[in-house]
Structure 1
Amino acid sequence: MKRHVLLAAASTLVLSLPAFAQETHPETGETLAETQEFSYRLLDQFPSIDPQLIEETAGGHVARQVFEGLLTQNADGSLRPGVATEWSSEDNQTWTFTLRDDARWSNGDPVTANDFVYAWRRAADPATASEYAWYVELTQMVNAAEIIAGELPPEELGVRAIDDHTLEVSLNAPLPYFPQMAVHYTLMPTHQATIEAHGSDWTQPGNIVSNGAYILTDIAVNEFFELEPNPEYWGADDVIIERVTGYVINDPNQALSRFQADEFDMMDDLPAGSYPDLEAEMPDTVHATPRLCTYYYTINQSESGHEALQDPRVRTALSYAVRRDVIVDQILQAGQRPAYSFTHWATADFEMPTIAYSEMTQEERNEEAMRLMTEAGYGPDNPIDLNLIYNTSENHRQIAIAVSQMWAPLGVNIELANYEWQSYLDIRGNQNFDVARSAWCGDYNEASTFLDLLTSRNANNDGKFVNEEYDALMSEAAVTSDPNPLYEQAEQILAEEMAIIPIYHYSQNFVLDPTIRNWPMENVENNWYVRDLYRVAAE
């Protein structure tokens, strides 16, 4: 059993015995631990758990515990009922969802179709200033683009409540994977009366009203948060874990030491290079699975960006000079793969195109990089001074140092700067950088979840890459029955223009206490739900 050590700011809590204490699991027959708790490490403090304001994975993981959308996912990533028990469409353009009649908010109010209508309108409404408003447009919901642009009121969005338990969604074009998109936190319901009563403080403990398996009971910013079971949740009788605690620890080495000291049960973002030794020392604890994320460097191509970075030859030279094999094989060492395209190789039904520079040797890439820099008028005799920003992490720092050394022969001088998470997001989002460490994790398992990010309309296109042909391809892909050829063309444009510098495709490498069971190892989106977990008695 883990020793759950709360930080000094936390108050002492009296733990109640769970309903399953010293019983066996109802399906597997395993003997359950007397205390059913789960704790994990977060690299950064999430800025928000408001579903319509979340813009990063840390907040998304918490939202999946506290809120529930129309659909959720099984351990293998396949769809399963959430608030909706049935969903159907005859043409993939008009979707109907039937909501369960026992779904309740944590204050006892029923969850109705109108709660989804309110939340989705709120996400698209410019007044909300959601960083994920573009996601609503990406779903092809009728009038989403016009609402986001301020040309129509939110009430014109293509979603309506036929009755309390029937939600109808109208799309501009057939979208067979719309139900997959409905899993995302942006489309989770929110409680209108609570938001209107508390404003921006509505997600604080004591104020928040949510509809997921857990409720937020305590939080100390940049330290920890706690969740407890929601007794109003429709599946409350099947929830085994009685307490969830998340600890914010920026330093991966410190975090690993605390994990090994039994302070919490799970952490990812392991210290660079630590995986091989951990695998040898604790094979039942360390894991590496495919993760639908791509690590890349964003290049500021806006008016505030460095003049040299407006030249695709310079951007291409920088990309060619990155020795991806060194980063994945010598620094990270945990199953990551070099990336030459943006879309992750494990994306469902995606056919990876052949990117020309991926087939060059590193020596050939280095020679071409030097030629391009010289042709563009730069090099050791006319150096470029750039800044490279990253969010605080030893892993990001090591990669940034290595890349800056790889760029030095090109006459590129790099000034490194790290920032805590919220400051980093603000700086990157306002284009106050030259090059920025970035990563994108799929919001659903289809290639457009990556490729749409680099359209000019996407608010998360922080490098402000603009290419009309690319935009047109992605718009066409959204309404065609076979978008793969268009996705391949889009990837070729990204490579030719070097819109970003892809570095590696993630693996999900993490440590997990072996007494925690039912972790979704096959979910490439890394969507996990604590309501599915349980702790077995230590042997």
Structure 2
Amino acid sequence: MTRKSILLSALLSTTLVAGAYAADLPAGTDLAADQTFTYRVLDEFSSFDPQVVEDVEGANVVRDLFEGLYNQDADGNLVPGVALSHTVSDDNMTYTFTLRDNAKWSDGKPVTAGDFVYAWQRAVAPELASPYAWYMELMSIENASAIIAGEKPITDLAVEAPDDHTFVVHLSQPLPYFAKMVTHGTTFPSPKWAIEAHGSEWTRPGNIVSNGAYVLTEHVPKERSVRERNTMYWDNEHTVLDKVVTLVIGDDAQALTRYRAGEVEKTDIPAGQYPALAEEFPEEAYALPRLCNYYFTFNMSDTGPEAFKDVRVRQALSMSIDRNVIVDQVLQGGQFPAYTFTPAATAGFEVPDVAYAGMTQADRDKIAKELLAEAGYGEGGEPLSFTYLYNTSDAHQQVAIVASQMWKQKLGAEVTLENQEWKVFLENRGAQNFEMARGAWCGDYNEASTFLDLLTSPSGYNDGKYSNARVDELMTTAKSSQDTQPLYTEVEQILADEMPVVPVYHYSTNIMLKDSVEGWPINNVEQNWYSKDLYKVAGE
């Protein structure tokens, strides 16, 4: 069979192999003597295992420890990782990746195509119960769905390694954005020998074997972790940062105080403080569009409140949220009011017209009261009361307080606010142990399906258990369609009508970053960053 080449271009590959895409230093750069980058995170990581990690901050660490087929550059474009290039068969059903011959694990073993076969089989193995197993289904890998359902053995996953430097993937249907999906941690290789030797403790310092630019040298849960340069990494000579230190600081204000004191070089901006900090630190305060959404999800499963089974109640709660107040007066960080689930920053996505987005807030409030009354709740009806669950964070708390006040004042709803530590929150939300819960999603790749697939029936992160056959059908059709916009528009319109979730805002990245740290990918809306691309310059 003839093949059409989807090379990242011979010239680009040659340039990248030469090392220009690591920390690319401008001529005359005066580097700082200490190349240690220290930054803050809000919560403990879910995992360092690429097939298990499920949080954004954990994924940032995994990208340092492990390297997949492709990476992203500062603008979000694909660049070679372990794979130098790939080709696609004429029917768009078979992808063949050519792997570099100088990639090594931190213990010196070569990285082979077999390591990818093992990792991808592991990701769909029912016994691992990866929280991202569904992602492998979304990739349309042949037999993935049947394996996850326990109907076929993992060895039936349609991935193969004809030799150590060739990795072949067979799809069940064409997927135009397949190559974009392999920058996600779930698809990174895993060291079979280390996992078999240490079991669930294989990711601990001293046990872990990784193939990325860094190795994990220290981890004190809920306090700090340290990763240092992997001398076996194929492009180690072009890596500049020697050490990356992550501190878990659960309070935004405390984190900002430690930033001011020079103890951390990157932290999130507390809600509402961006304008003042941008004025005080014009070279260090950032508000950048980000490929993420923030929403409230209703528990529509059998364990959910009876009230939420009525679409009029869900619509009323959504319409009565004044999104402009939340983004302009509470958060004040360049966020965008959301009336669709998919952010406008998504590549190739045109935000569709949904009826309630074009109304004034006064009109939305009026309709919300009418809908709630029609459903038999509120003034003259049953009192509407429910618990809203969110993970501990000052910003999440402020949003929760403001939203609950809006519901109280406009609809007479009594809302109990409950916050939980991150891992406990994830467990309860995933097990439908909630009534309404905070939700947020950052795109795993830059295409609208990364958001809309979340609300399909089989999605592993459809925590509210919303199910609509037409949505499922449209999203299945979109996977092989050359014109997805009409399909995505109809899905968004269904979501606006049925309101299984309440879109609140689309993210802006609000961070403080010391001006001595260079190389941050400010133009990458996914905000996928790699420590190997960063460096610190000497102070004046």
- Give the alignment's TM-score, normalised by structure 1: 0.94
Q: Indicate if the aligned counterparts of 2:341 and 2:492 stay in contact, CA closer than 8 A.
A: yes
Three-state SS of the structure 1 residue aligned to 2:244 is strand
Residue 25 of structure 1 and its aligned partner are, at CA, apart by 7.6
**1:239 matched to 2:236:** no
2:315 corresponds in structure 1 to 316
Alignment of 1:83-102 (within 5 A): 83-91=82-90, 92-102=92-102
Q: Indicate if the aligned counterparts of 1:378 and 1:411 stay in contact, CA closer than 8 A.
A: no
**CA deviation profile, 1:160-193 (whole Å, cap 9, x unmatched):** 1011000011111112211110000000000001
**CA deviation profile, 1:196-232 (whole Å, cap 9, x unmatched):** 1111000000000000000000011110100000010
- What is the distance in 1 between the residues matched to 2:87 and 2:482? 18
Alignment of 1:352-431 (within 5 A): 352-381=351-380, 382-408=382-408, 409-431=410-432
1:139 corresponds in structure 2 to 139
**1:332 matched to 2:331:** yes
**CA deviation profile, 1:313-366 (whole Å, cap 9, x unmatched):** 100000000000000000011110100000011000011101110000000000
- What is the distance in 2 between the residues matched to 1:488 and 1:144? 28
Q: Indicate if the aligned counterparts of 2:176 and 2:479 stay in contact, CA closer than 8 A.
A: no
Three-state SS of the structure 2 residue aligned to 1:87 is strand
2:130 corresponds in structure 1 to 130
Q: Indicate if the aligned counterparts of 2:373 and 2:379 stay in contact, CA closer than 8 A.
A: no
Alignment of 1:156-235 (within 5 A): 156-235=156-235
Structure 2 spans left out of the alignment, 5+ residues: 1-22
Distance 1:380 1:170, change over 3 A: same
Residue 158 of structure 1 and its aligned partner are, at CA, apart by 1.5
2:254 corresponds in structure 1 to 254
- What is the distance in 2 between the residues matched to 1:57 and 1:466? 26
Alignment of 1:276-295 (within 5 A): 276-295=275-294
Query: Counterpart of 1:132 in structure 2: which amino acid?
Result: Y
Three-state SS of the structure 2 residue aligned to 1:358 is helix
Three-state SS of the structure 2 residue aligned to 1:126 is coil
Q: Indicate if the aligned counterparts of 1:71 and 1:80 stay in contact, CA closer than 8 A.
A: yes
Q: Indicate if the aligned counterparts of 1:39 and 1:245 stay in contact, CA closer than 8 A.
A: yes
Query: Counterpart of 1:274 in structure 2: which amino acid?
Result: Q
1:462 corresponds in structure 2 to 463
1:115 corresponds in structure 2 to 115
CA RMSD of aligned residues (A): 1.0
**1:503 matched to 2:504:** yes
Query: Counterpart of 1:488 in structure 2: which amino acid?
Result: T
Three-state SS of the structure 2 residue aligned to 1:227 is strand
- What is the distance in 2 between the residues matched to 1:306 and 1:25? 54
Query: Counterpart of 1:384 in structure 2: which amino acid?
Result: L
- What is the distance in 2 between the residues matched to 1:302 and 1:355? 26
- Quick check: 278-287 or 474-483, which moved more? 474-483
- What is the distance in 1 between the residues matched to 2:371 and 2:126? 42
Residue 288 of structure 1 and its aligned partner are, at CA, apart by 1.1
- What is the distance in 2 between the residues matched to 1:367 and 1:27? 58
Three-state SS of the structure 2 residue aligned to 1:383 is coil
Q: Indicate if the aligned counterparts of 2:176 and 2:480 stay in contact, CA closer than 8 A.
A: no
Distance 1:58 1:25, change over 3 A: closer
2:61 corresponds in structure 1 to 62
Query: Counterpart of 1:449 in structure 2: which amino acid?
Result: T
Three-state SS of the structure 2 residue aligned to 1:508 is strand
- What is the distance in 2 between the residues matched to 1:229 and 1:512? 22
2:533 corresponds in structure 1 to 532
**CA deviation profile, 1:84-136 (whole Å, cap 9, x unmatched):** 01112143321110000000000001000000000001101111101100000
2:514 corresponds in structure 1 to 513
1:346 corresponds in structure 2 to 345
1:41 corresponds in structure 2 to 40
Three-state SS of the structure 1 residue aligned to 2:460 is coil
- What is the distance in 2 between the residues matched to 1:500 and 1:27? 46
Three-state SS of the structure 1 residue aligned to 2:152 is coil
- What is the distance in 1 between the residues matched to 2:255 and 2:447? 33
| Identity percentage of aligned residues | 53
Three-state SS of the structure 2 residue aligned to 1:128 is coil
Q: Indicate if the aligned counterparts of 2:300 and 2:308 stay in contact, CA closer than 8 A.
A: yes
- What is the distance in 2 between the residues matched to 1:171 and 1:479? 11
- What is the distance in 2 between the residues matched to 1:281 and 1:379? 46
Query: Counterpart of 1:295 in structure 2: which amino acid?
Result: Y
**CA deviation profile, 1:394-429 (whole Å, cap 9, x unmatched):** 110111010001111313110001111011101111
Three-state SS of the structure 2 residue aligned to 1:288 is strand
Q: Indicate if the aligned counterparts of 1:316 and 1:369 stay in contact, CA closer than 8 A.
A: yes
Distance 1:486 1:25, change over 3 A: closer
Residue 29 of structure 1 and its aligned partner are, at CA, apart by 2.0
Query: Counterpart of 1:288 in structure 2: which amino acid?
Result: A
Residue 499 of structure 1 and its aligned partner are, at CA, apart by 1.2
**CA deviation profile, 1:228-285 (whole Å, cap 9, x unmatched):** 00010001101110110001111111111110110011112x2111000001001000
Three-state SS of the structure 1 residue aligned to 2:127 is helix
- What is the distance in 1 between the residues matched to 2:134 and 2:494? 22
- Quick check: 379-388 or 497-506, which moved more? 379-388
Query: Counterpart of 2:423 in structure 1: which amino acid?
Result: Q
1:7 corresponds in structure 2 to none
2:483 corresponds in structure 1 to 482
Q: Indicate if the aligned counterparts of 1:25 and 1:32 stay in contact, CA closer than 8 A.
A: no
Aligned residues: 515
Three-state SS of the structure 2 residue aligned to 1:52 is coil
1:5 corresponds in structure 2 to none
Q: Indicate if the aligned counterparts of 1:25 and 1:31 stay in contact, CA closer than 8 A.
A: no
Three-state SS of the structure 2 residue aligned to 1:505 is strand
- What is the distance in 2 between the residues matched to 1:484 and 1:112? 38
Structure 1 spans left out of the alignment, 5+ residues: 1-23
Query: Counterpart of 1:329 in structure 2: which amino acid?
Result: D
